Amino acid sequence: MSGRAAIIGGGVIGGGWAARFLLNGWDVAVFDPDPEAARKLDEVLENARRALPGLGDVALPQEGRLRFATTIAEAVAGAGWIQESVPERLELKHRVYAEMAGHVRDDAVIGSSTSGFRPSELQAGQALAGQIVVAHPFNPVYLLPLVEVVGSPANGADVVARACGRLTALGMRPLHVRAEIDAHIADRLLEAVWREALWLVTDGIATTEEIDDAIRFGFGLRWAQMGLFETYRIAGGEAGMRHFIGQFGPCLHWPWTKLTDVPELTDELIDRIAEQSDAQSGAHSIRDLERIRDANLVGMMRALAQTGWGAGAVQTAHDAARAAAAGLVDRVDDLADPAQPVLTLTRTVPLDWIDYNGHMTEARYLDAFAQATDRLMRMVGCDAEYIAGGGSFFTAESHVRHLDEVRAGAPITVHTRVLEGAGKKMHLWHEMRSGGRLLATGEHMLLHVDLATRRAAPPAPHVAAALARLADAHAALPPPEGMGRAVGAPR
């Protein structure tokens, strides 16, 4: 899904929204009167282009077109999604919405990045009230999937549903907040932790770094994949949440926190926090910290995708939705031309595939070919259900030729030929390219195995038939250069 988006306010959050839309194939118009807006947005986009493509396992679509509009009316004209990300001043937001009136498509969603205002406050007195919803994201918007969507009685049910659908198509996880409340859900939770942290610093119990350590090395990692309640459910052991509440519920009456009281933000406290924060992070520039943050988030979310958990499950679903559009299929019958080499992989080289030489490590060439083999297996019917039933293919021999280098952020594809597909054998030839460059070839011999005996055995008839169909179709192609070549032998 793609379209046209308008971003009103191109700061940290607005710039993140612009990157999210652009890298998912949307054309984006930005309005921001700041004379430095283009430079700031370009820096955000540079980080996004570096990090986001490596998050998923399916290549992103062609990047959309970016332009800067001179007026709000020009920016919103023809846009299907309008994201307002101006400073948190209600009168300013009202002026922005008033300037949009008469220039907005009837089916456009107007999302506000507000972290605190209720949608009814945003809509008050506005001609476009029915199209305005809260769409509160989290920084960096181009990586973190959560976006809180809040409507009001002024919105029809279709508006909220349309908003959630479009955000899902961007690889995000819309959380529909069922009732209006100041600061929505996530920021209220963050505010509670923030207040307690301020008291810990005020009372000299901990420094800013020690508080951050308590989060990032402990419960923060658990929260990242299970949240609060599921984490506590596990803490209750086999008896679950009921036991946990019975054991720790009385603690709520103990004077452990000061959440009902807030320390005064005196100059002294502000100076103390600022000095401690400088000591903690001052060796890095903000851009350095952003890149470190982005790399860490990509790594965590890719790890979560392997188990289909939390934010990783959102990315896995987004990849699956994009796979067909990218030309990937899961069945031989879905191939447009079975006589041609089959597209079995299209993706971008992620940051964690790069070695000390600045290019893709040799293990990742094989990893990419293994992913291509897995898709070919699914295409011939050796899918998860078939494997659960006791049959699969094991690789008996591989030969990879490294012909050219490729770096982080480069798009790569793998096309596969079936050289032999009879009896117990599946003989594959993979070619990896980036643009027009041939990067590597992989020749692999696999044997079908009975998983109960762990010995070679003929595949099921439907698998054998699909494999033979591809082998017969590809037999008409000329032999690939390098096929059967031994290590070190001349080309």
Instruction: Quickly count: other Cβ atoms within 10 Å of residue 165's Cβ.
Output: 12
Residue 111: inside a domain: yes
Residues 53 and 85 in one domain: yes
Per-residue pLDDT, 334? 94
CB 66 within 8 A of CB 104: no
Residue 433: inside a domain: yes
- Provide the H-helix boundaries in 137-185: 157-169
Per-residue pLDDT, 395? 97
Residue 77: inside a domain: yes
Q: Strand, helix or coil at 389?
A: coil
Whichever domain contains 446, its CATH number is 3.10.129.10
Instruction: Quickly count: other Cβ atoms within 10 Å of residue 435's Cβ.
Output: 10
DSSP one-letter string for 273-315 = HHHHHHHHHTTS-HHHHHHHHHHHHHHHHHHHHHTT-HHHHHH
**Of the residues 259, 283, 307, which one is the last residue of a structural domain?**
283
The annotation status of 13 as a binding-site residue, yes or no, is yes
In 3D space, the residue among 448, 308, 430, 305 whose CA is nearest the CA of residue 376 turns out to be 430
Whichever domain contains 22, its CATH number is 3.40.50.720
Q: Which residues of the chain have pLDDT under 50?
A: none
Residues 176 and 200 in one domain: no
Per-residue pLDDT, 263? 81
Per-residue pLDDT, 491? 58
Residues 21 and 158 in one domain: yes
Cβ neighbours of residue 217 under 8 Å, at least 6 residues apart?
none
Residues 178 and 265 in one domain: no
The annotation status of 12 as a binding-site residue, yes or no, is yes
Residue 149: inside a domain: yes
Residue 293: inside a domain: no
**Of the residues 161, 184, 207, which one is the last residue of a structural domain?**
184
Question: End-to-end CA distance of the chain, in Å?
Answer: 45
Residue 138: inside a domain: yes
The annotation status of 147 as a binding-site residue, yes or no, is no
Per-residue pLDDT, 490? 64
Residue 104: inside a domain: yes
Per-residue pLDDT, 287? 85
Instruction: Quickly count: other Cβ atoms within 10 Å of residue 149's Cβ.
Output: 23
Whichever domain contains 228, its CATH number is 1.10.1040.10
Residues 86 and 162 in one domain: yes
Question: Mean pLDDT of all residues in the chain?
Answer: 93
What is the distance between the alpha carbons of residues 20 and 27, in angstroms, rounded to a whole number? Answer: 11
Q: Report the relative pairing of strands 132-137 and 109-112 from DSSP bridges.
A: parallel
Cβ neighbours of residue 62 under 8 Å, at least 6 residues apart?
25
Task: Give the chain's domain count.
Answer: 3
Q: For residue 216, what are the domain limits? A: 187-283
Residues 170 and 207 in one domain: no
Residues 141 and 251 in one domain: no
Per-residue pLDDT, 489? 67
Residues 174 and 213 in one domain: no
Task: Give CA torsion, residues 429, 435, 436, 441, to 10 deg.
Answer: -20
What residue type is assigned to position 393 of the chain? F
Q: How far, in Å, are 102, 226, 407 from residue 222 at the CA level?
A: 48, 6, 33
Residues 162 and 42 in one domain: yes
Q: Which two tokens stand for residue 206?
A: 């901990």
Residues 105 and 204 in one domain: no
Per-residue pLDDT, 310? 86
**Of the residues 167, 184, 201, which one is the last residue of a structural domain?**
184
In 3D space, the residue among 173, 116, 115 whose CA is nearest the CA of residue 143 turns out to be 173
Residues 169 and 203 in one domain: no
Residues 176 and 196 in one domain: no
Over residues 146-155, the pLDDT tens digits come to 999 999 999 9
Q: Which two tokens stand for residue 475?
A: 């037999």
pTM over 0.75: yes
What kind and span of H or E run contains 220?
Answer: helix 220-226
Q: How far, in Å, are 252, 294, 330 from residue 383 at the CA level?
A: 50, 33, 9
In 3D space, the residue among 155, 81, 85 whose CA is nearest the CA of residue 123 turns out to be 155
Residue 210: inside a domain: yes
CB 304 within 8 A of CB 221: no
